[in-house]
Amino acid sequence: MFSRRKLLQTSLFYSLLPQNILQAKVTEKFHNPFQVPPLATAERKGRDLYFNLRVQSGKSAILPNVLTPTLGINLPFLGETIRANRGDRVHIKVKNSLNETTTLHWHGMKLPAKMDGGPHQPILPDAEWTSEFDIIQNAATLWYHSHQMHQTGKQVYHGLAGMFIIDDDESQNLDLPNDYGVDDFPVIIQDRDFNQDGSFRYVTSMHDLMMGKAGNTALVNGVNKPVLKTTKALIRLRVLNGSNARIYNLAFHDFRHFHIIASDGGLLEKPFRTKSFTLAPAERVEILVDLSDGEMPILTHITPSNSGSEEGMMGQMMDRLMGVEEAVNRFDIFQIDASEVTSSKVNIPDNLVTFEPLPDAVVHKRVFKLEMDMMSAMMKGSPQGQLTINGSSMDINHINETIQAGSTEIWVLENHSMMAHPFHIHDVQFRIIKRESEKFGEQNISAQEAGYKDIVLVNPNERVEVLMTFPEFRDSETPYMYHCHILEHEDAGMMGQFVTV
Ligand code: C2O
Ligand code: CU
Ligand code: CU
């Protein structure tokens, strides 16, 4: 039997949606030009690639008639896109021109712990930090963002995030759109709330802290209601959920099919044809969208029409789905205008890459229990320390796990709380090998989740097993992080540290 909650998590949910629900409410017009973050310029000397980044504050025209104070990297808001090839050695000099301490973390990257840009590599105001590492992994859409202790949520919310694209020969030789800003686009989705004066409204309540900060205005690459005009019949979207906490259920309003070609860590073995996908905070997918019909599809997040308790709202939604009036709300993200597409030639490769066989010599299995003590948090008036992994919350002076570099491990992620947590591990790309819960038993791993990942959504009462080989970097002093990527949870301590030795 499918429960309502379970149903919402599956694509069956979408197949039950009558098409006219999605088409029903074409809300406000999309009128702002789609912005493509510029590529960060780099100086190349052989395989060495030198970048200069400046973390800065600025003012951005996001809403009409007001300016929003924002943060960015080489830009007033958000960051330039960093692009490098497998085999390159990057040297990224980061200058902090804010009057607060920050860090820049390369999310999804395999690299020495000292170069990771986590809480152990703070960059003080006016200081500089250089991160240098070899790109040893395959083509993928990664990203970078602030990881400052207790400030990650706030700094990312204000704009300290950007995309980091890795290319390799294998992906370049495939017949995929790869002309940046022409047929290959970053799509950084974020939700924000604003004050009257145009400033961002960050956490204002206990609810924001416990559930994570969600906003009622969708931005793509920092722009509200953008429309992407293209003349290309096939485009590639590198979709990043750069939101602090919101989990998106994304589909096009006309319910068209598209192909998912990549997950967090790179290309899938084959394109996967679908109409929708779920994207938790920090997750990425790359999709190919066929626009040869010349239409104007809107990417939309489908939300239950009523808030309240989770079962309650899903209950209402399901009741309505079973026949009564409009069941869901649309939270529209952006529109594509393909009215000037002339060609109808669209080629989707049958095969992309071949994965390495799963390593079988597992030396260690570790269990991570995710818990939230709502009662204590309420009584204390703060969730600090009440969001835990294996009973403890982040202590920067304590290393939680010691791992043998080069070894293969299974991490068992158990969610003992009432809400879903997107669990992220630094320095690795893992494979999901099992997803199960008492209620529903073992579930199939979806095609979207079958590839390399650095983040996985663990639903309430679920148990997810991930398998990975830790790269050969040894440093007994500098740890990497693992944590919930709802940034308010991370800041409240739902994070731990490991070293590889
Ligand atoms: Cu997106 Cu600890 O990082
Ligand atoms: Cu990370
Ligand atoms: Cu969480």
- The pLDDT value given to residue 256: 96
Q: Report residue 308's pLDDT band, with 50, 70 and 90 as the boundaries.
A: very low
- The dihedral formed by the CA atoms of 345, 256, 170 and 341, expressed in degrees to the nearest 10: 30
What pLDDT sits at residue 14?
A: 52
Enumerate residues 6+ apart whose C-beta is below 8 A from 425: 411, 454, 455, 466, 468, 480, 482
The span from the CA of 374 to the CA of 352, in Å, is 45
For ligand 1, atom 3, name the residue with the nearest CA.
Answer: 107
Q: Per-residue pLDDT tens for 262-286?
A: 999 999 999 999 999 999 999 999 9
Predicted confidence at residue 337, as pLDDT, reads: 97
Residues 6+ apart with CB under 8 A from 190: 161, 215, 218, 219, 220, 222, 242, 243, 244
d(CA 29, CA 49): 42
Report the percent of the chain where pLDDT is more than 70.
89
Instruction: Tell me the residues surrounding ligand 2 (ion) with CB < 5 Å.
Output: 107, 426
Residue 370's closest CA among 493, 197, 221, 279? Answer: 493
Give me the residues paired with residue 490 across strands.
Answer: none
Q: Where are the domains of the chain?
A: 5-14+174-337, 33-169, 362-500
pLDDT at 318 over 60: no
> For the segment 230-267, what is each residue's pLDDT rounded down to a tens digit?
999 999 999 999 999 999 999 999 999 999 999 999 99
Burial class (CB in 10 A: 0-12, 13-18, 19+), 399: middle
How far are the Cα atoms of 160, 176, 287, 289, 302 from residue 74, in angstroms, in the given order?
A: 10, 29, 27, 30, 34
215, burial (CB in 10 Å: exposed 0-12, middle 13-18, buried 19+): buried
Q: What DSSP string runs through 285-303?
A: EEEEEE-TT----EEEEEE
The set of residues, in sequence order, having a beta carbon less than 8 Å from that of 444 and lying 6+ positions away, is: none
Closest CA to 136 of 497, 424, 452, 472: 472
Check for a shared fold between 5-14+174-337 and 362-500.
yes
* Site residues for ligand 1, CB cut-off 6 Å: 105, 107, 145, 147, 282, 424, 426, 481, 483, 485
pLDDT greater than 60 at residue 22? no
Assign a CATH topology to domain 5-14+174-337: Immunoglobulin-like (2.60.40)
Under CATH, what is the fold of the domain 33-169?
A: Immunoglobulin-like (2.60.40)
Amino acid at 275: K
Does the pTM of the predicted model rise above 0.85?
A: yes
- C-alpha 84 – ligand 3 centre gap (Å): 31
CATH architecture of 362-500: Sandwich (2.60)
Tell me, in angstroms, the distance from the centre of ligand 3 to residue 209's CA.
10
More confident residue, 135 or 380: 135
